[in-house]
Amino acid sequence: MSAPARPAAVTNLADGEWHRLHPASPLLRGGLVFIAVLGFVIANLRERAIDLFLVVFAPDAERFGGNGGQSGDEWANDPVGAIVMNGLVGWALLGLVVLIIAVIVGFWLSWRMHTFRVTPEAVEVRSGILFRSHRSARLDRIQGINVNRPLFARLFGTAKLEVSVAGQSANVQLSYLGSALADGLRADVLRLASGARAERAATQAAAVNAPGATSADPSTQPTEPAQSAGPTHRAEPAELPAAPSRSAAAGAPLTARAGGLVTHRVDEFLAPELDPDLAPPESVVHLPLGRVIGSTLLGGSTIWAIVLVAIIVVGVTSGQPWVLFSFVPAAIGLVSYMWSRITKSLRYSIAGTPDGVRIGHGLLSTGNQTIPPGRIHAIEATQWVFWRPFGWWSVRINVAGQSVSASNEAAQRTLVLPVGTAADVHRVLGLLLPDAAAEVAPFVSAGLTGRGEGGGYSSTPRRAAWLRPFSWRRIGWAAAAGVALIRSGALLRSLTLVPLARMQSVAVSVGPVDRALDLAGIRLHTVTGPVNAMLPVVDRSEAMRLFERLSEEAVERAASDTTHHWGVAARADETTGAAEAGHAADTAPAAPEAPNRERPTDEPPEGPVR
């Protein structure tokens, strides 16, 4: 861990040492319930409490109740009164104090014992008071990083960072971190995971040595005024005792810090989900509210809603009240599903960053997800028949580590574009397949709406109509730049793209009917997810040719694929550009210190983050 080895750190959290989470974490994780219960009890006891004070401090005053403590059942009816009657106020208060202290100590211990570190190889978390757990996620296996900000956490200015790796429920959660720290740590983890570390260190060392700078340690440099203004905003937690920003913060006037804290919190709350410093300023897709609502109302769930309403109406009018009890909960569930779909699609954004695609969403509880390059195993654009007049499409992906279960959160993460136009699909595909986008683009339009031969797609023989009477004209495949495209579906149009570099295996199957018609089906196996890459019918000899081609190309592409260490290849030229293009505004006024700042272009300066 020499100093030039980690010059680009945005935060000091990724230095391989153990760090603690935000001090409010235990409160946010479980304590909110406790506070709510406490508040409820206090609100209910308020009147009693006033009486109590009278009794305790003026014992001669009129007794309430008046039936002196003789029966046990008043303990049940009025425990507080009974305590007072029996002269146990002292004990009760003592018990209360002990309870509160125990809770506080528990929170403090769980905060003390919950530590994490980010080493060049892995993200590790240790937690638990009695039952210790130690979980680590290898950086080169990271499938995505999610930063979630539930509403309460946002009010505290904190965020939850989740590192997802392949495997069922193998995610490593850091809940909670300071909001800006979470963003910074994400950038650091992605930078380490990108494999750019060695590369970057070498170029940075060269850059540092060239101007003849003496020190490469960020903590020893003088802090510029513009930078010190930032840390003062985040003066709340002391989770980083040795952080240089803290010492800077301590010097600022107290009132300025308090005011800054409030404005910063408000800024943070109103800030768009995507950090303008981390991503290109605007999302490539804009979702108007009308489209979100319209698409939800025209979605498949609407049919279910209509069916449910019909059943309920018929049931009620024909005097069958049980219908109400059995179907109303389902209706409520459906409405809440539609509502959550709408709210989650609000403030949707998708943008490309050097470390992958970032997708943000949510109105009150916000979240964003970063999928590093080379982690997407399949993409599918679908259009339901009701969406066709409007030209709306939705895009889903398969990524490793998503469970099969259609849980709401998992479904949310695989849904890359809730609803968008064909042009949006083009833009999203450009982000998801950055290397192949140019070659694939000509096939996409024909794949979305085309049918029959043309547009580079194979045609399906007419006899396939026996098996696929509606969609046989649309069924076809194409391949470009190591991506297989499969077009199918008439009522539910779909275009599936599979990067062959990540295809797991390929199967061709021939059933009895297929053989009679000289047809076959081909299936591309990818990791589990909502996308099924399948070419249901294709001429049999063509199927064998396609099978050979896919199996060969899969091996070739997998061997030459380097996207999972995206940094090594991509960063070389980018870092050279960083010096001049990068933080021109930031570094220009402090020219002599510029080499010491050593900030990469894609990561934010620490102060004005968000």
Q: Is 271 left (phi over 0), alpha (psi -120 to 50) or beta?
A: beta
Q: Is residue 139 close enough to count as binding another protein by CB under 8 A?
A: no
Contacts of residue 14, Cβ cutoff 8 Å, sequence gap at least 6: 6, 118, 185, 188, 189, 192
Helix (H) or strand (E) holding 163: strand 158-165
Among 15, 51, 78, 561, binds another protein (CB under 8 A): 561
Element (H or E) spanning 100, and its range?
helix 89-113
For the bound state, the minimum distance from the C-beta of residue 527 to another protein, rounded and expressed in Å, comes to 5
Which positions from 528 through 547 interact with another protein, judged by CB under 8 A? Answer: 528, 547
- Each residue 93-112 as x (binds another protein by CB under 8 A) or -, in order, gives --------------------
Q: Does 551 bind another protein (CB under 8 A)?
A: yes
CA distance 307 to 183: 45
89-97 own/partner pairs: CB under 8 Å, 24+ apart: 89/52, 89/56
Between residues 369 and 575, which has the closer beta carbon with respect to another protein? 369
Nearer to another protein, 539 or 606 (CB): 539
Dist CA 353 CA 376 (whole Å): 15
Site string for another protein, 391-430 (x = CB under 8 A): ---------x------------------------------
Residue of 25, 295, 526, 596 interacting with another protein (CB under 8 A): 526
∠ CA 116-252-277, rounded to 5°: 55
d(CA 178, CA 394): 33
Q: Shortest Cβ distance from residue 560 to another protein (Å)?
A: 10
In the region spanning residues 5 to 44, those forming contacts with another protein, defined by CB under 8 A, are none
Per DSSP (E only), the strands in 168-271 are: 172-178
Buried b (16+ CB within 10 A) or exposed e, 466-491: ebbeebbbbbbbbbbebbbbbbbbbe
Q: Which is nearer to another protein, 235 or 357 (CB)?
A: 357
Residue type, 358: R
The strand pairing partners of 432, in sequence order, are none
Single residue of 564, 571, 583, 610 touching another protein by CB under 8 A: 564
CB of 484 to another protein, least distance (A): 14
Establish if 126 lies at the interface with another protein (CB under 8 A). Answer: no
- Binders in 453-512 for another protein, by CB under 8 A: 501-502, 504-512
Binding to another protein by CB under 8 A, coded x per residue (else -) over 355-394, reads: -------------------x--------------------
Which structure tokens are listed for 216? 């490469």
CB of 465 to another protein, least distance (A): 22
Residue number with CB closer to another protein (409 or 552): 552
| Window 147-166: residues binding another protein (CB under 8 A) | 166
To the nearest whole angstrom, how small is the minimum distance from the Cβ of residue 384 to another protein? 25
Identify the CA nearest to 26 among candidates 128, 99, 179.
Answer: 128
Residues forming contacts to another protein in the complex (CB under 8 A) are 141, 143, 166, 374, 400, 501-502, 504-512, 515, 523, 525-528, 547, 550-552, 554-555, 558-559, 561, 564
